[in-house]
Amino acid sequence: MTEKRDNATPRDCILQLIRTRMASRQAMQKLLKNSNAGITFEMLQVMSCLWNEQGISQQTLAERTAKDKACLTSLMSNLERKGYVCRRENPKDRRNKLVYLTDEGEAFHQWIAPTLTAYYERLEEILGTDKLKQTEELLKELQHAIESY
């Protein structure tokens, strides 16, 4: 018979973090499907970055979305086919492309924003502002501890 542990281990914490990430991704994918958004979670990550800052490099997008270059290139091609983004030459470095939202991408943002806001407001309603802030701080500490290993 195994003894039940009352103390969480670092491994337990990391496993819960992974499960939470997966649940978050699945919930957002379901939300996108139910709202007939026509994009994937990964596409939403890219779009979300561009909603906050236009004209950023693909390298910056890859870093902010934690995607490798090949994956990001595929996402960019799909978003271009949908008419949501365009890539333009960087005038300072012609080898690099800068990514911008198109008018259609902005219209999509305006359309999906209320749905995303409702999702985040529901999480805040369930957990409360204090718990969310505390969780964010703990996750930042965990990230720092892992990065400094």
Q: Per residue of the chain (149 residues), what is the pLDDT tens digit?
A: 455 567 889 999 999 999 999 999 999 999 999 999 999 999 999 999 999 999 999 989 999 999 998 999 999 999 999 999 999 988 888 788 899 999 999 999 999 999 999 999 999 999 999 999 999 999 999 999 999 98
Residue 125, in any domain of the structure: yes
* Alpha-carbon distances, residue 132 vs 23, 125, 129, 139 (angstroms): 16, 10, 5, 10
Counting the structural domains of the chain, the total is 1
Residue type at position 93: D
Residue 102, in any domain of the structure: yes
Residue 63 belongs to domain with CATH number = 1.10.10.10
Q: Which domain holds residue 96?
A: 33-147
